[in-house]
Amino acid sequence: MKLLIVEDSALMRRVLRENFADQDDLDLAFARDGEDALEKLESFEPDVITLDINMPKMDGLTCLAHIMEQRPCPVIMLSSLTDKGAVATFEALELGAVDFVAKPDGTVSVNLESVMGELKRKIRSAASGRSARTARPTRRARTPAPRPRSIAPAADTRRKATRTYVPDLLLIGSSTGGPGSLQTLLEGIPADFPAPILIAQHMPPKFTAAFAKRLNDTCNVEVVEVSETRPLHAGVVYLAAGGGDVVVRKKLNRLVAEPATSDPQFVWHPSVSRMVASALDHVPANRLMGVMLTGMGDDGSDEMAEIHKQGGSTIAESQETAAVFGMPGQLIEKDGASVVLPVHEIAAELCRWTSSLSSARRRQCS
């Protein structure tokens, strides 16, 4: 596998080279800045690129736009763990980056050991063959991209009999490649959707606040970060705060979402498994709906399969659109998906399931 690392700091390039020294199957090349990266894009022909955001001559976002135009391939952004870094990261994801890894110590971060495992996993997943589709059209904030209205079902699309009902809560799990899938899904949800929506997207601290704001600016539904206990209201999207978990509780006979300290028994955070399990503690499974989007591993697959087993309805994103087919693939493998759909068809399916919607609402979703 050919990996191109674009990093302006000589110290960072040395640290990264040392950390990849044990990867015998990697053909590794380095670029000093965006201009150098574009030259190596043609001469080296990388399978995967890691791209720093803050660079001289040509910054990472400008370089990414050229990559997606000249020779699209999976790009993973190396971002600083700051508010500014978070905003730039989501701009990169809209331009076509498949994912990001936050540097633990800022722009120049020699202490990379804590994130090297994550970076290596994401590079492998990006190269696995499903991420090359990620050159999405550039989108400007506050202007939702038009959704396809007549796309034929994918070969792996399948449907099982589902009942129609308005759930007490819709639960969504997502990881690698998830920000783009979540934006596509939520842009198709009407403002008066009849249930609250709770999301666990694997993300570090600081990034979820910027992501919630970005979604709130581009979607019809209100989107908020769960940084404190929040009562759950229909038509509002609640995004778990990064770096920790989110759990569902019942207080004064109503459902609330609470931030929770990361539980070490769960590998990924915010944990989809912990979110769904806590919802099952307080809501009958047949009063829940679940959606499993793109991501590595199997986080939440057992718990969402339990929703399906006990009479609730679930959707798995299909391999056609998933950047990484791990989490939805595991849900399907466990016979836990009522429906398998490409991401641009999921919102319409959710609207059809909640049959209490007026005909005008259904037209908005379809």
Residues known to be catalytic: 175, 202, 299
Outline where DSSP puts E strands in the chain.
2-6, 27-31, 48-52, 75-80, 99-103, 158-159, 169-174, 197-201, 222-226, 230-231, 236-240, 245-251, 254-260, 288-292, 313-317, 339-341
Q: Nearest 5°: phi and psi at 332?
A: -65, -45
Cα 342 to Cα 161, 292, 321, 328, 345: the distances in Å are: 18, 11, 5, 11, 6
Cα 236 to Cα 32, 226, 241: the distances in Å are: 44, 12, 16
Task: Indicate the length of the chain as a whole number.
Answer: 366
Q: What share of the chain is helix, strand, coil (3-state, %, to 5)?
A: 35, 20, 45
The span from the CA of 168 to the CA of 197, in Å, is 9
The span from the CA of 206 to the CA of 83, in Å, is 6
